[in-house]
A and B are shown apart, each in its own frame.
Chain A
Amino acid sequence: MSVRNAFLGLLAQKPRHGYELRAAFEAIAGGGVNWDVKPAQVYATLDRLAEAGLVVCTSDLGEGDEPGRRVYALTEAGLAALRQWFDEGVEPEHQRDEFYIKLMVALASGAGDPHRILRTQRGLIYQRLHGLTTQRNALDARVALAQVLLLDKAIMHLEADLRWLEFVEARLGDIQRQPLPAPQVRARGRPKKGS
Chain B
Amino acid sequence: MPIVETQNLSKIYGAGEVAVTALDHVSISVEAGEFVAIMGPSGCGKSTLLHLLGGLDSVSDGSVLIDGQNLAGMKDDDLTRLRRRKIGFIFQFFNLIPVLTAQENVALPITLDGVKPAEARARAAEWLTRLDMAERMHHRPDQLSGGQQQRVAIARALVADPDLILADEPTGNLDTRAGDEIAETLRQVSQQWGRAVVMVTHDPRIAAYADRIIFLKDGKVNDQTILAPRRNGDAATAAAPLQAPA
Which residues in A have some Cβ–Cβ distance to B below 8 Å? 119, 122-123, 126-127, 129-130, 133, 137, 155, 159, 162-163
Contact = CB atoms under 8 A, between A and B. Distances in A.
A130 B223 contact: no
Given A122-B225, A123-B223, A155-B205, 14 more contacts: A123-B225, A126-B204, A126-B207, A126-B208, A126-B225, A127-B225, A127-B227, A130-B208, A130-B209, A130-B227, A133-B208, A137-B184, A159-B204, A163-B204
Contacts of A123: 223, 225
A50 B210 CA distance: 51
B26 interface: no
27 contacts: A119-B223, A122-B223, A122-B225, A123-B223, A123-B225, A126-B204, A126-B207, A126-B213, A126-B225, A126-B227, A127-B225, A127-B227, A129-B204, A129-B205, A129-B208, A130-B209, A130-B210, A130-B227, A133-B205, A133-B208, A133-B209, A137-B180, A137-B184, A159-B204, A159-B205, A162-B204, A163-B204
Interface in B206-246: 207-210, 213, 223, 225, 227-228
Contacts of A126: 204, 207-208, 213, 225, 227
Interface residues on B, range: 10 to 19
Contacts of B210: 130
Contacts of B204: 126, 129, 159, 162-163
A130 B228 contact: yes
A137 B184 CA distance: 8
A133 B183 CA distance: 11
Contacts of B184: 137
A159 B204 CA distance: 6
A129 B184 CA distance: 14
Nearest to B203: A159
Contacts of B223: 119, 122-123
A150 to B, nearest CB: 16
A95 B209 CA distance: 29
A188 to B, nearest CB: 46
Nearest to A162: B204
**Leading 6 A-B pairs by shortest Cβ distance:** A129-B208, A130-B227, A123-B225, A162-B204, A130-B208, A119-B223
Most buried by A among B180, B204, B213: B204
A119 B207 CA distance: 15
Most buried by B among A126, A127, A129, A155: A126
Contacts of A127: 225, 227
A127 B207 CA distance: 11
Nearest to A132: B208
A72 B124 CA distance: 63
A159 B207 CA distance: 11
A46 B72 CA distance: 74
A133 B204 CA distance: 12
